Structure 1
């Protein structure tokens, strides 16, 4: 029974990894615009100390 549980967990892990890998975007034109945040500055505008 224990080996069956290990086999099931392994199969679920492998299948979920394949699903995650299929979601990558390799086409640069499909990447949405993104503005980088200011470095060393908090959201309220104060500098990080």
Structure 2
């Protein structure tokens, strides 16, 4: 995931990283671990839907 800062304070653009091969492509739209490493910890509760 690529994080791009903007001219507006606190506004970021999050772009998925594409993984391509002969079959097409795959992308991870969001990674909580990577976001917390690059930006800030996410505050809140984890909710699991079964």
* Structure whose CA Rg is larger: 1
Structure with the higher strand share, 1 or 2: 2
What TM-score, normalized to structure 1? Answer: 0.20
What TM-score, normalized to structure 2? Answer: 0.20
Structure with the higher helix share, 1 or 2: 1
